[in-house]
Structure 1
Amino acid sequence: MQESTIRIALVGTGFMGRMHAQVYRQIGGCAVHHVLSLKGQTAEELAGKLGAEVAPDFDSILANPDIDVVDICLPTDLHAPFSIRALQAGKHVLCEKPMAIDLESADQMLAARDASGKTLMIAQCIRFWPEYVRLREIVKDGRLGNLRSLQLTRFGAFPTWSSEGWIGMEPRSGGAALDMHIHDTDFVVDLLGEPDEVISRGSVDERGVSRVFTLMRCGRTTVQLEGGWDLPSSAPFRMSFRAVFDQGLVMFDGGPLTIYRDGQAPEPVTDLPRMSAGDVGGNLSDLGGYFFEIDYFLRCIREGKPVDASSPESSRQALAVALNEIGQVHHQGAHS
């Protein structure tokens, strides 16, 4: 694609749709032309902020030759059908994570991508989150030696923002494991490859898996993950990691990313990029990986390059591991 404005249709106007909209307002060389809400009530306000039109339906977006990209920010069970239709209509597609509700749907998305010749990318924001990007660099360049162990956590209160409460319906969202915990599963799979062993336990309630504890063996690295949305409504959202290397420790727990070495003062990392989230609400004040993933996707479109940093094949691989975790929790988990 030449250096012209990339024209986008944003499909979905909930929390994640608003997050993506805030990113598009800050990135040059693109414009949101149409906004579609399946419920309709929030499309007018968001379209007004973007200087976009409200699309009457999805068919009108697919038939519009001026639209280059369709950005899917819909409930998880709708990711595959809407992405497939957009690819079949000759549009590039950015689809929110997780890739799909099951592997069959993910495979259908890959087949549609192959048949269309267009770009499909799954928005795996943690791959682009500055603290996690820096951890990846430290692992890959070996400056602290081998990665011995990695612990990742992600938990908070149950999210109440979903339309008609779809996020609390496991057949639609995949529960906490597929909606929240998969961020960390995806990061591990992308960083270390498919695990040699996965052992998962957790808790199950009327919304499905509400908390998951997973132990992975990835070569010589032991990985421990914990994620869930079963905290009180007043509890803050938290994501963190602790990476133990031969020659040091890298920690992130909401404050500055910090490196620790024997006999040296702690080394806070102060050069990470920041992008304000503005007025989107939710549990984040920093656009973080949302900005950098979308910027990367648009650059790949413009330059005709593959989305190697977030290929849908790798997202499918992470989905397979997460579904394995869910299956183990349901089989062995504590029910409440």
Structure 2
Amino acid sequence: MKVAIVGCGGLGNVHASCYAAIPGVTVVGVCDIEPDLREKLAERTGAKAYASFDEMLAQSGCDVVSVTLPSNLHKPFAIQAARAGKHVICEKPIALHLDDAAEMIRECEANGVRLFVGHVVRFFPEYAQMKRQIEAGSIGRVGVAHAKRIGGHPGLRRPWFMDDAQSGGVILDLMIHDIDFFRWSLGEVRSAYGLRTVEGDVDYASATLVFESGAVANVEAYWGYPGPFTTAAEIAGSKGVIRSDSSKSVSLQVRKAAAADAGGPFVEVPQSPGYRSPFELEIEHFIDCMRENREPLVTAQDAYKALEIGLAIVESTRTGRAVQFESAAREGSR
């Protein structure tokens, strides 16, 4: 399978590393408006560097396009790839507006290609294990959950993150990980309420989600934290509690040599205690879904729903009021 990558920043390099580890997959083209970035990634992968996305689609012979661009550019590039008959692996969020996300899904379906969206937290072993424990009933009926995701502001390295019109801010870029995880684990959301503070290089948001099951989740996301990137989750049920905290020691520790570009120009990428990168697990899963024509762990519709909840939180931060969702049951009764 031949893959092309548009967007040669941090996640473009992550995708390239993942493809290199998958047998039968070759990166045949890389594209970026910044010559230095595309040339460096071309040198790493042995692929041809393209300044023009049109030319890469026409000349590279790719079957799949990885879209690892700023979030506001996901829609036009994904649609162009779909119309060229290429499958699309797009980083999260799927888009910044629901109409754009819906159009991406429609265009991929109309052109007979697959659309995969990188909600990578589903592939982190600790989060997947929490999901399995909830499903198995290990903690009984879930009542209250909390998650946080904090780190330095990525806009200090890549300024487009500072612009909500390009990144969606801390809610649509960072909090959306835990939004998707809780919807995956706890079911559909009934209401969302949010607060947000932006001051200089600090972007902090918190949200309260009430689920159709009656469970309540509190979610925090924070850019500008002076310490290392940290994630934590706690889920309390009628029979027990599950906790995960990346800042605390774990029973299994795998030490790897520091990456050559550590501290370089790209933003932080969350790590997991597992030996295999969750990004590698995710990309390999998407490739297998294409090869075997099966549904992925995270669908494009899942990505749409995560965006819908994220946008509801954004709206709540502006109005000061909770946003209510129509339940599947109420919609089905109409």
TM class, shorter-length: 0.7 to 0.9
Q: Residue 210 in 1 paired to residue 203 in 2? A: yes
2:143 pairs with 1:148: yes
User: Partner of 2:221: helix, strand, or coil?
Assistant: strand
Q: Show the counterpart of 1:51.
A: 46
Instruction: Name the SS of the counterpart of 2:139 in structure 1.
Output: coil
Q: How does 1:186-201 map to 2 (within 5 A)?
A: 186-201=180-195
Unaligned runs of 5+ in 1: 1-5, 259-267
Q: For 2:36, what is the secondary structure of its paired residue?
A: coil
Residue 325 (structure 1) aligned to one of 299, 313, 328: 313
* Equivalence for 1:262: none
Distance 2:20 2:303 in 1: 27
Q: 1:157-306 alignment to 2 at 5 Å? A: 157-160=152-155, 163=158, 165-205=159-199, 210-218=203-211, 219-232=213-226, 235-254=227-246, 270=252, 278-279=259-260, 281=262, 282-286=268-272, 288-306=277-295
Partner residue of 2:67?
72
Distance 1:198 1:71, change over 3 A: same
Question: Tell me, what secondary structure is at the counterpart of 1:80?
Answer: helix
Which residue of 2 is the match for residue 135 of structure 1? 130
Tell me the distance in 2 between the aligned counterparts of 1:173 and 1:24.
25
Q: Given the alignment of the two structures, is residue 81 of structure 1 paired with residue 73 of structure 2, yes or no?
A: no
Q: 2:28–2:60: 8 Å Cα contact kept in structure 1?
A: no
**Aligned match of 2:327:** none
Computed over aligned residues only, the root mean square deviation of the Cα atoms, in angstroms, reads 2.4
1:10 paired with 2:5, answer yes
Number of paired residues? 312
Q: Hey, what's the Cα distance between the residues in 1 that align with 2:284 and 2:258?
A: 15
Question: Does the 8 A contact of 1:277 with 1:284 survive in 2?
Answer: no
Q: Report what 1:20 is aligned to.
A: 15
Measured in 2, the distance between the counterparts of 1:277 and 1:66 equals: 34
Q: What CA deviation, in whole Å up to 9, does each residue of 1:138-190 have, x standing for no partner?
A: 11121332222211000112114654x11111111111111111111111122
SS at match of 2:138: coil
Could you tell me how far apart the structure 2 residues matched to 1:122 and 1:280 are?
A: 26
Q: Aligned equivalents of 1:257 and 1:29: distance in 2?
A: 37
C-alpha contact 2:2 2:26 (8 A) present in aligned 1: yes
1:13 CA displacement: 1.0
For 1:97, which of 70, 76, 92 is the aligned residue?
A: 92
Residue segments in structure 2 that go unaligned for 5+ positions in a row: 263-267, 322-334
Q: Distance in 2 between matches of 1:277 and 1:191?
A: 33
TM-score (norm 2): 0.86
Question: Between the two proteins, what is the percent identity of the paired residues?
Answer: 29
Give the whole-Å Cα distance in 2 for the aligned partners of 1:106 and 1:119: 14
SS state at 2:69 partner: coil
Deviations 1:121-146 (A, max 9, x none): 10100011111111111111213322
Could you tell me which amino acid in structure 1 is paired with residue 208 of structure 2? L
* Mapped partners of 1:293, 1:161: distance in 2: 27
The residue that corresponds to 1:261 in the other structure is none
How many Å apart are 1:280 and its aligned residue?
Answer: 5.4
CA separation in 1, counterparts of 2:244 and 2:182? 15
Change over 3 Å in CA distance of 1:49–1:75 after alignment to 2: same
* Residue deviations 1:73-102 (CA, integer Å, cap 9, x gap): 000000011000100110000000000011
Query: CA separation in 2, counterparts of 1:276 and 1:87?
Result: 38
Maintained 8 Å contact 1:276/1:285: no
Corresponding residue to 2:102 among 93, 98, 107: 107
